[in-house]
Structure 1
């Protein structure tokens, strides 16, 4: 197959999926118009909207499958997907969270959730209604995102986050280390709950001996090198599900604190080794890990196994290819 991915790279996922598809002898290219300090580049053509629109005739004729991301297509008025439908092209939309997180719906099962990065409800609904006129199936990363888009599509698939495990060599926490290192890397502090996390960390400093580092404004390769030094990593404590930082941290053999909504726990494969922490419990959960080096080590090992089983890009792309093959 010849597979187009575009046009917004979210957490390296377009590149990871394209790389895994290439490993299966498919032609797959990610066209990315969103550029950040994270510096994702693998399997991508980093471009802009004007250039990609200029390539549209070639793109529309060359590719067989069109995998769009984050509720965005090549034109804001969706004329491209209207044309693709008339040509009988296979299409799917991959929603990632903030693009579809209806504010009121998000709060039904989560008193902590931050939705300040999501568009107004009426804009989300307008976008979904327009896209689903032409694209009948969608992908989401987990059951936290699922209910926002289910009413709009004929079918919605849950596809886990994918990473290239070859880039993540585990370094499990040393049980004899006297001064553990806590890391937190907020690309969006409001969404992650950084103020609350750092208040909890500050309150523990007078009682426990540890080091804390906040990682910001670094490219992805630099960040991964720093993660490898950590003994404890704090992901996000408001959303109710885990993201790429959590997956990468587990791949590196690190224990991770993250809030998983109680009603979503059973939707994940059994044995998810995340230390569940919300704003009310983050201090106690940090204390538990700070005082138990053996637990840090065992959680790190369990996390690596979990990612090998469920988030390795080759495993994920097998599921993705099955989705592609059954698109109409």
Structure 2
């Protein structure tokens, strides 16, 4: 990394249990301990679930417990169409702690699933959660019974993927992705059977299933297909045109890349391409941002000319949306079969997607071409990108989809 590539990291990054090369024995031990506790707790949990049916629940929708950035945007989307809702977690990740209820403040994380489940029983009429499961998702036996338990309680469930919760790597065809997972999350290999089981459990037991993104590679059923369920508040983003000469290229071209897992995002290929272009004398700078709170990251995007998203998975995610909402051109690898699916189902018009498509092998040429294009052309791509996000991922557009889902499951008529 040279002096034209800056690296920013303000927080130590804890990528969780699977980021370590956990032994199979340790993984089995954790599951066995939870199985023992689950067996003891099963009868009381069933009884409390039944009794909770007769208790008034003050909030229509709970969003959790996985602590994703998108929870707050989903909450805004649901509130925009008139629902009462809260975000709840029992642990957090480094990039945000912006949640309404953090049960982990009041109990050890190991007991979080059980306390969170009882909390949910008496508070929400419906939960929006992921294929890792609701509050009982980290347990062993109860995780597989959770859809049944929530049905006993009379609580509706809307299930969505977020990534690793559905990535059964033997189902996909992306060898680069398998290699990246092995490097970023070696402990993930122990989770294949559990991930498959939870996909099956929720596919059969959820009231409604949402899919999209690259997740379609790993699921075999959905009720609603979207480009992705990611939402963003476009009202908070302003598109600003550079005051420098619009008919001249950016000098230097300022790139930003913010990987939460380097191999899955293709970071080493980005570093290599930028260093080679700099060695050729091209005026290009890269900001590599890791472990930074989301509010700080959004400020840093404003200072960039181009956002570099991900090169391995084959579709865009939250960082790309933040870049597009900011009016920045976004470089990302887009798999043709995904593009064909979303055009074929009518979710996209041909040539509507404003992403600058690239691959590991073409990235260097892509950056070179961007560095030579006039600022006005980059600004035009940024404007198209902003409008794309408003159409497909704004609070209003996602809120309409969620409202239709809620009416379909009779949460509201």
Is this a same-fold pair by TM over 0.5?
yes
Q: Distance in 2 between matches of 1:139 and 1:15?
A: 18
CA offset digits 1:136-159 (Å, max 9, x no partner)? 5322242x21241225x6x35435
Find the residue that maps to 1:278 and give its secondary structure.
coil
Q: Distance in 1 between matches of 2:255 and 2:295?
A: 19
1:204 matched residue in structure 2: 277
After superposition, the Cα gap between the structure-2 partners of 1:202 and 1:299, relative to the gap in structure 1 and judged at 3 Å, is same
Please state how far the C-alpha of 1:55 moved relative to its aligned partner: 5.2
Find the residue that maps to 1:150 and give its secondary structure.
coil
Structure 1 segment 117-128 matched on structure 2, within 5 A: 117=185, 118-119=188-189, 120-128=191-199
After superposition, the Cα gap between the structure-2 partners of 1:123 and 1:84, relative to the gap in structure 1 and judged at 3 Å, is closer
1:99 matched residue in structure 2: 165
Structure 1 segment 173-188 matched on structure 2, within 5 A: 175=246, 176=248, 177-188=250-261
1:320 matched residue in structure 2: 402
Q: Distance in 2 between matches of 1:132 and 1:178?
A: 51
Find the residue that maps to 2:287 and give its secondary structure.
strand
After superposition, the Cα gap between the structure-2 partners of 1:156 and 1:122, relative to the gap in structure 1 and judged at 3 Å, is farther
Q: Name which one, 1 or 2, has greater alpha-carbon Rg.
A: 2
Please state how far the C-alpha of 1:95 moved relative to its aligned partner: 1.0
Q: Distance in 1 between matches of 2:353 and 2:241?
A: 17
**TM-score for both structures, normalised by structure 2:** 0.72
Q: Which moved more, 1:111-120 or 1:239-248?
A: 111-120
Please state how far the C-alpha of 1:235 moved relative to its aligned partner: 0.4
Find the residue that maps to 1:64 and give its secondary structure.
strand
Q: Distance in 1 between matches of 2:103 and 2:305?
A: 38
CA offset digits 1:220-261 (Å, max 9, x no partner)? 000000000100110000000001111110010101110000
Q: Distance in 2 between matches of 1:131 and 1:309?
A: 30
Q: Which moved more, 1:211-220 or 1:163-172?
A: 163-172
1:25 matched residue in structure 2: 82
Are the aligned partners of 1:234 and 1:256 in contact in 2 as well (CA < 8 Å)?
yes
1:84 matched residue in structure 2: 150
Please state how far the C-alpha of 1:34 moved relative to its aligned partner: 3.8
Tell me the number of residue pairs that the alignment of Structure 1 and Structure 2 aligns.
321
Find the residue that maps to 1:30 and give its secondary structure.
strand
Are the aligned partners of 2:130 and 2:159 in contact in 1 as well (CA < 8 Å)?
yes
1:67 pairs, out of 125, 128, 132, with 128
Are the aligned partners of 2:131 and 2:202 in contact in 1 as well (CA < 8 Å)?
no
Are the aligned partners of 2:131 and 2:199 in contact in 1 as well (CA < 8 Å)?
no
Please state how far the C-alpha of 1:213 moved relative to its aligned partner: 1.0
> Which runs of 5 or more residues in structure 2 are unaligned?
1-58
Structure 1 segment 143-222 matched on structure 2, within 5 A: 144-151=214-221, 155-158=223-226, 159-172=228-241, 175=246, 176=248, 177-206=250-279, 207-222=281-296
**TM-score for both structures, normalised by structure 1:** 0.90
2:358 matched residue in structure 1: 277
Please state how far the C-alpha of 1:133 moved relative to its aligned partner: 4.3
1:112 and 2:176 matched:
yes
Find the residue that maps to 2:311 and give its secondary structure.
coil
After superposition, the Cα gap between the structure-2 partners of 1:18 and 1:225, relative to the gap in structure 1 and judged at 3 Å, is same
Are the aligned partners of 2:181 and 2:263 in contact in 1 as well (CA < 8 Å)?
no
Q: Which moved more, 1:248-257 or 1:165-174?
A: 165-174
Please state how far the C-alpha of 1:52 moved relative to its aligned partner: 6.2
Find the residue that maps to 1:106 and give its secondary structure.
coil
Structure with greater helix percent: 2
Are the aligned partners of 1:7 and 1:33 in contact in 2 as well (CA < 8 Å)?
yes
Please state how far the C-alpha of 1:83 moved relative to its aligned partner: 2.0
> Which runs of 5 or more residues in structure 1 are unaligned?
none
Please state how far the C-alpha of 1:70 moved relative to its aligned partner: 4.5
Higher relative contact order (CA 8 A, sep 6+): 2
Are the aligned partners of 2:95 and 2:294 in contact in 1 as well (CA < 8 Å)?
yes
Are the aligned partners of 1:15 and 1:44 in contact in 2 as well (CA < 8 Å)?
no
